[in-house]
């Protein structure tokens, strides 16, 4: 009997991505796939090209070559804000928050498609705008609670520690109700006591809310406990991909890390 069922299309698939900076081939013919509903890991030694790959996937940097398909559509020619509107958001290795605004204001600014942005609606349907603002505030406070920042809601974001800023960035990303979140080292600089909490929350957002994640992380405990599949980059190229257990015992991967 012929099996006509093809495997489901990945939510994100990038093929043949290349990016050079001067003479450095930061990403050199790299591929990656992120199945819908998965938590996928991206690891590799320092300078392997992981952040550059995130920049290419979200088009913060335009690739020299290659294709990125998200949810069945090519996105490599879209602007980053258009990609975010399609449901792909990313956080930065060094968190980008607005220091002079409060933590809550940072969250509210991240929300998309607010009715309040429409002048005519503000004039003629202020009750709808007020209701929407209240709902957004509630959503923001709920998410701040879940990233452990509710008590800081009215503090300036500039007063947060590096780790807390990363948590705020994650909260901001979630305000847009994305389909896929790219997290660049979510555990780096975060208080070790909070790291388990963050992992639990990522698992809940994944299992309960069906959110898909692609996570760069040097903390192998985080990668091993969260990821369904792990991709390894070294010197801009794909070195391996497999289950966390396969990757942990892959001789080429161990060699790449030892050779750092
Ligand atoms: N804007 C840039 N201009 C010049 N070189 C760059 C630029 N961005 C990255 N590179 C170089 O590209 C290579 C890959 O860097 P990238 O930041 O992508 O690595 P990474 O895997 O994220 O490393 P880490 O684990 O340290 O964050 C490095 O050699 C880096 O110096
Ligand atoms: Mg990086």
Query: Residue 89 forms beta bridges with which residues?
Result: 181
Answer yes or no: is pLDDT of 117 > 80: no
Phi, psi (degrees; rounded to nearest 5) at 202: -60, -40
Q: Which of 16-20, 58-62, 77-81, 132-136 has the highest mean pLDDT?
A: 16-20
* Interior/surface letters 11-21, b for 16+ CB within 10 angstroms, e for the rest: bbbbeebbbee
Test site for ligand 1: of 18, 20, 50, 184, most ligand atoms within 8 A of the Cβ: 50
How far is the C-alpha of 209 from the C-alpha of 187, rounded, in Å?
Answer: 21
What is the distance in A from the centroid of ligand 1 to the CA of 51? 7
Verdict on whether the full-model pTM lies above 0.85: yes
Q: Which atom of ligand 1 is nearest to the CA of 49?
A: 18
Position with higher pLDDT, 164 vs 31: 31
> What's the mean pLDDT when you consider all of the chain?
88
Answer yes or no: is pLDDT of 122 > 60: no
What pLDDT is attached to residue 115?
A: 47
Where do the domains of the chain lie, and which CATH numbers do they carry?
12-97+176-256 (3.40.50.300), 98-159 (no CATH)
Q: Which atom of ligand 1 is nearest to the CA of 233?
A: 21
Instruction: Express each pLDDT in 7-46 by its tens digit.
Output: 667 999 999 999 999 989 999 999 999 999 999 999 999 9
What is the distance in A from the centroid of ligand 1 to the CA of 12? 22
């Amino acid at each position: 009997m012929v099996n006509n069922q093809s495997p489901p299309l990945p939510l994100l698939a990038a093929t043949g991505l290349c990016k050079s900076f001067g003479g450095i081939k930061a990403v050199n013919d790299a591929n990656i796939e992120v199945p819908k509903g998965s938590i996928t890991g991206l690891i590799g030694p320092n300078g392997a090209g992981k952040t550059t790959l995130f920049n290419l996937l979200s088009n913060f940097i335009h690739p020299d070559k290659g294709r990125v398909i998200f949810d069945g559509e090519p996105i490599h020619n879209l602007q980053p804000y258009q990609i975010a509107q399609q449901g792909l958001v990313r956080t930065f290795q060094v968190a980008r928050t607005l220091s002079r605004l409060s933590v809550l204001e940072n969250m509210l600014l991240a929300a998309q498609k607010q009715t309040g942005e429409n002048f005519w609606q503000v004039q003629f349907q202020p009750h709808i705008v007020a209701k929407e603002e209240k709902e957004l505030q509630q959503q923001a406070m709920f998410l701040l609670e879940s990233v452990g920042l509710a008590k800081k809601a009215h503090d300036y974001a500039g007063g947060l520690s590096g780790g807390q800023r990363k948590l705020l960035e994650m909260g901001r990303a979630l305000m847009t109700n994305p389909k896929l979140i790219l997290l660049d080292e979510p555990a780096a600089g975060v208080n070790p006591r909070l790291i388990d909490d963050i992992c639990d929350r990522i698992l809940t957002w994944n299992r309960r809310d069906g959110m898909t994640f692609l996570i760069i992380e040097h903390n192998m405990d985080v990668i091993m406990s969260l990821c369904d599949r792990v991709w390894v980059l070294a010197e801009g190229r794909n070195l391996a991909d497999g289950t966390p257990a396969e990757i942990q015992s892959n001789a080429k991967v161990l060699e790449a890390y030892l050779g750092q």
